[in-house]
Amino acid sequence: MKILHTADWHLGKRLEKFSRMDEQREVLEEIIQIAEDNDVDGVLIAGDLFDNFNPSTEAVELFYRSLKRLSNNGKRVVVAIAGNHDSPDRIEAPDPLARECGILFAGYPDSVISVGELDCGIAILQSEPGFIELKLPGCDETLRIIITPYANEYRLKTFLGVDETESELRNVLETRWKELADRYCDDKGVNILLAHLFMMKKGSAPPEEPEDEKPILHVGGAQAIYSENIPEQIQYVALGHLHRHQKIDNKPCPMVYCSSPLSYSFAEAEQQKFVVLLDIEPAKEVQYSKIPLTKGKKLQRKRFDDIDEAVKWLQENPDSLVELTMVTDQYMRSDDRKRLLQVHSGIVTLIPELINSDQVESQSQTLDLNQSIEDLFKQYFQHRHGIEVNDELFDLFKEIKAEQNEE
């Protein structure tokens, strides 16, 4: 049985003012082609399908169109779960129609997928909250999946009936997973756990969460789960949430974050992105490989102290999205800033780094606190960033000030 593991699509994601939609179309096309080229039997999408609870119409259309093609018009099962960026209800809403195309959704930890044989040839043999067993076309063995979409404290309290302390959450999830594995996951079928959560090996340094990710290892989010909490019957854990490809542990089985398909923040600059292809059969160690993704723009962080050098590099790298830091001993002149922005259309952030501390100190000593708050803000912005505040940001400042006055 061949299974493709992907996650963290974040459809609709923007990088500041830059839409990533065209890049997302390209990389999803690449993932669909990988599924076709490898003739996979199923695709697992481990959460964060969209970037927010209310995605754009364009993002929703891309999502459904891509899933339909991934399913090969119902000949290949696709199982997608909600992540912490997703609305569980939105994820599950199209389920009755999607099922007929072999696409199965789970938004909540206690979501139940109805049993039955679909017209496309896929059969849902057994199901209960957090579990499904599937019979796939062309496969003699069955596929068992323990399913754990993202759950915040409220959902966990509702589903698991426990307080939100770390030890209880880990223990109850471990107990629940073991109950399901003992009941359904013998050595006659393929056994996988599909989850969107923060997992780590006990005693190791916690993996770093993405820069722009909504953290789930803190107050207000579900705590880390340890690799030792995974039942011994499970052959592979398909994880979503962390955007860098990494294997958390190999005991009792590989536990893998496949990575997001694109770099979504400059903390991910220069990262190679992957999907993971599993070759798996009952009662045997899974064989898996990471397949690099090639589509999408590179995110690059660059630092220069010479305008001409910066311009030359920008001209040589026209297709990147760039966070550019210019080191200077004086405030960046507007004509230098204009020159940089004109030579490259993908500068996301331009950061002037002022190294002349004496100049900063002298300016701070001459600050007139009797000025209006608007003038103080303009002066502070100029002092802090080396450029004048633009109209859009200044209007936003005035809007916030007005709201505070009303309160």
The pLDDT, as a whole number, for residue 212 is: 61
Residue 406 reports pLDDT greater than 60: no
Nearest-angstrom CA–CA distance, 370 and 38 = 70
**pLDDT tens-digit series, residues 43-53:** 999 999 999 99
Nearest-angstrom CA–CA distance, 274 and 260 = 7
pLDDT grade for 336, boundaries at 50, 70 and 90: confident
Q: Are 212 and 254 in contact (CB under 8 A)?
A: no
Could you identify the residue written with the tokens 């323990």? 146
Residue 311 reports pLDDT greater than 60: yes
Here the tokens at position 102 are 């072999």
Q: Within a 13 Å sphere around the CA of 26, how many CA atoms are in the beta-carbon half? A: 10
Q: Are 89 and 50 in contact (CB under 8 A)?
A: no
The pLDDT, as a whole number, for residue 330 is: 72
Here the tokens at position 250 are 């190999």
Here the tokens at position 301 are 């962080």
Residue 229 reports pLDDT greater than 90: yes
The pLDDT, as a whole number, for residue 364 is: 47
The pLDDT, as a whole number, for residue 189 is: 96
Query: How does strand 103-106 pair with strand 77-81?
Result: parallel
Q: Are 133 and 142 in contact (CB under 8 A)?
A: yes
pLDDT grade for 185, boundaries at 50, 70 and 90: very high
Could you identify the residue written with the tokens 């001209």? 315
Which among 30, 56, 8 is positioned nearest to 294, based on CA atoms? 30
